Amino acid sequence: MPIYLFALISFVSLPFAQAESVADWLMKQKHVSLERMLQNISRPDTVPGTVVAATTRVNPNYYYHWVRDAALVVNTLLLAANDGVANDLDVRVDRILRDYTALSRRQQMTWTRSSWSGEPKFNPDGTAFEGDWGRPQIDGPPLRAMTLIRWAKQLILSGDDEYVRAVLYDSLLPTQSVIKGDLEYTAHHWFETSFDLWEEVKGRHFYTLMVSMSALNDGAELAVLLGDFGAADYYSGEARKILRFLQARLVDVAAARILATVDQDEGLTYKTSQVDIAVVLGLLHAPSREDFLRESDSFVLLSVQKTVDAFRGLYRINRERLDMAPAIGRYPEDLYGGATFDGGNPWILTTFAVAEFYYKRAHELAVLGDFSGASDAIRIGDSFAARVQIHTAADGALSEQFSRENGYMTSVENLTWSYASAITAALARDKAVAAISPSSH
Ligand code: NOJ
Ligand code: NOJ
């Protein structure tokens, strides 16, 4: 069995052998990630509701509350609680959400170097970070709105609309509530140039526009639920404008191409390929887009495949294991290694993002009745999850990056968003599997 032998020999150069099936590993990693993610929220030396981006405090210091990371992490907590991933998670999550809401409102009302909103990160004591940074970053407010809208809808269903109307969405202008504050900000600012999610390029970005559109669609739905009909029309009208802008400027269906950024006016100049995993993240983080760019579309699949292909030959660990799915970085020209600037590495959250894309595609195909296509998509998703698996130690600790040369974890430790990405990938897999085999549930 020469292929088997080849695989065995190549394992020698990798840190950890693949001891268990991907499915089993991912299930376990989901639980470990949840515990580790919770350890980075409301830590004793931070203001309650603070989500530190990572536990590393020097070289580089990630002990800050990033608006983007925090929104994605808290959203993941809600998903995990709904799915019953751990006992008593509901109670913990409710406390965290209340603290996160209060902190978010306070930060929304803080004058910063980005004016009121759009500030990328805050100190662990809740105050504004005042050093130089790539600002503004206008994906934060819509991401936070989406997370809090998810929670608001749950509270309304469970009969607690008093808190929702008083604290989360008050239907007033000027508003005193956090969700409406973020929606108003997004509706009025989405067209401005801002720094991208990687904090490096100022322009108009697929990722930022997608999450802005999705948040405004969610916001319109919540506004209807709460009787704020004029606002609902306004939010959905702006969402439609974003859609038209995306179609006109960033999405070229004929060429199967999605651009990461247009209209750059500041930032890195060596990022020229337009290949960026931010496009996949934009699909994953913007679920409310109706029929625009569905995971099951062949155009979308082709765009994702092209992005993935750009990483195949890029890293030594990929070239050494061409039989496996490639480890995925942010974009091919990336130089950021955490403490160094001598070359980018693959990241945990981007490799999991590709797995999650295929799991979501599998779910959509299963719903459309294409069960064999769905099974294939799960297998492809698993191949990307397996890539993370072979580079992860038995304790399940996840950093931001893993070395392009030897596969070991590198850059900041315990990146909260890495844990969230493991959980959302695992939940998407569970959902796809359930849609393929309904009888087993
Ligand atoms: C820190 C940012 O968080 C990271 O995304 C970026 O690559 C570096 N600064 C360089 O701008
Ligand atoms: C750098 C990443 O590029 C950015 O997306 C993230 O928000 C920060 N690190 C904090 O994790």
Q: How does pLDDT run across 174-211, given as a tens digit for each residue? A: 999 999 999 999 999 999 999 999 999 999 999 999 99
Distance CA 101, CA 359 (A): 31
**Confidence at residue 87, expressed as pLDDT on a 0 to 100 scale:** 87
Distance CA 196, CA 201 (A): 6
C-alpha 197 – ligand 2 centre gap (Å): 7
Give the CB-side neighbour count of residue 271, counting CA atoms within 13 A: 26
pLDDT tops 60 at residue 93: yes
Q: Which atom of ligand 2 is nearest to the CA of 400?
A: 11
Distance CA 54, CA 72 (A): 14
**Confidence at residue 255, expressed as pLDDT on a 0 to 100 scale:** 87
Characterise 56 by phi-psi region: left (phi > 0), alpha (psi -120 to 50), beta (else).
beta
pLDDT tops 60 at residue 75: yes
pLDDT tops 90 at residue 3: no
Alpha carbon nearest to ligand 2 atom 7, residue: 69
Alpha carbon nearest to ligand 2 atom 3, residue: 198
> What confidence category does residue 161 fall into, taking pLDDT thresholds of 50, 70 and 90?
very high
pLDDT tops 50 at residue 7: no
Asked whether 178 and 108 are in contact (CB, 8 A), the reply is yes
Bigger pLDDT: 283 or 19? 283
**Residues forming a β-bridge with 402:** 409
Distance CA 26, CA 39 (A): 20
Q: Report DSSP state, residue 62.
A: -
**Residues forming a β-bridge with 234:** none
C-alpha 68 – ligand 2 centre gap (Å): 8
Alpha carbon distances (Å) from 185 to 116, 165, 181, 320, 370: 9, 19, 6, 47, 41
261-267 vs 194-195, strand pairing mode? unpaired
Alpha carbon nearest to ligand 1 atom 11, residue: 200
- Report the predicted TM-score, pTM, of the whole model to 2 decimal places: 0.95
Q: Which of 411, 424, 338 is CA-nearest to residue 381? A: 424
Backbone angles phi, psi at 26, to 5 degrees: -65, -40
Per-residue model confidence as pLDDT tens digits over 221-233 = 999 999 999 999 9
Q: Is 331 in the pocket of ligand 1 (CB under 6 A)?
A: no
Alpha carbon nearest to ligand 1 atom 5, residue: 198
Ligand 2 pocket, Cβ-based, cut-off 6 angstroms: 53, 62, 66, 68-69, 197-199, 417
pLDDT average, residue stretch 76-99: 95
The pick from 417, 419, 421 for probing ligand 2's pocket by mutation, whose C-beta has the most ligand atoms within 8 angstroms, reads: 417
Q: Is 333 in the pocket of ligand 1 (CB under 6 A)?
A: no
**Confidence at residue 15, expressed as pLDDT on a 0 to 100 scale:** 52
Q: Which of 274, 265, 273, 296 is CA-nearest to residue 283? A: 296
Catalytic: 400?
no
C-alpha 369 – ligand 2 centre gap (Å): 38
Q: Which of 69, 119, 182, 196 is flagged as catalytic?
A: 196
Q: Which of 83, 94, 161, 199 is flagged as catalytic?
A: 199
CA angle (412, 406, 34) in 5-degree steps: 40
Alpha carbon distances (Å) from 253 to 104, 151, 283, 301: 38, 35, 15, 12
pLDDT tops 70 at residue 16: no
pLDDT tops 90 at residue 44: yes
pLDDT tops 60 at residue 401: yes
Bigger pLDDT: 97 or 439? 97
Backbone angles phi, psi at 378, to 5 degrees: -65, -40
The pick from 336, 347, 401 for probing ligand 1's pocket by mutation, whose C-beta has the most ligand atoms within 8 angstroms, reads: 336
Q: Record the tokens describing residue 358, joined without a space.
A: 């295929």
Rg (C-alpha) for the chain, rounded Å, is 21
Nearest ligand for residue 69 CA: 2
Tokens 């496009």 appear where?
279
Catalytic: 199?
yes
C-alpha 5 – ligand 2 centre gap (Å): 40
C-alpha 203 – ligand 2 centre gap (Å): 17
Alpha carbon nearest to ligand 2 atom 1, residue: 198
The pick from 198, 331, 348 for probing ligand 2's pocket by mutation, whose C-beta has the most ligand atoms within 8 angstroms, reads: 198
Q: Which atom of ligand 1 is nearest to the CA of 200?
A: 11
> What confidence category does residue 5 fall into, taking pLDDT thresholds of 50, 70 and 90?
very low
Q: Is 199 in the pocket of ligand 1 (CB under 6 A)?
A: yes
C-alpha 290 – ligand 1 centre gap (Å): 33
> What confidence category does residue 254 fall into, taking pLDDT thresholds of 50, 70 and 90?
confident
Per-residue model confidence as pLDDT tens digits over 269-327 = 999 999 999 999 999 999 999 999 999 999 999 999 999 999 999 999 999 999 999 99
Per-residue model confidence as pLDDT tens digits over 114-136 = 999 999 999 999 999 999 999 99
Percent of the chain with pLDDT over 70: 95
pLDDT tops 80 at residue 9: no
Asked whether 232 and 169 are in contact (CB, 8 A), the reply is no
Q: Amino acid letter at 47? A: V
pLDDT tops 90 at residue 331: yes
Q: Amino acid letter at 73? A: V
Q: Amino acid letter at 103? A: L
Q: Which atom of ligand 2 is nearest to the CA of 68?
A: 7
The pick from 196, 199, 345, 417 for probing ligand 1's pocket by mutation, whose C-beta has the most ligand atoms within 8 angstroms, reads: 199
Exposed (0-12), middle (13-18) or buried (19+): which is 164, by Cβ within 10 Å?
A: buried
Average pLDDT taken over every residue of the chain? 95
Average the pLDDT over each of 9-18, 63-72, 78-87, 291-300 and give the range with the smallest value.
9-18
> What confidence category does residue 393 fall into, taking pLDDT thresholds of 50, 70 and 90?
very high
Distance CA 296, CA 362 (A): 8
Distance CA 127, CA 48 (A): 13
pLDDT tops 90 at residue 155: yes
Tokens 């900041």 appear where?
412
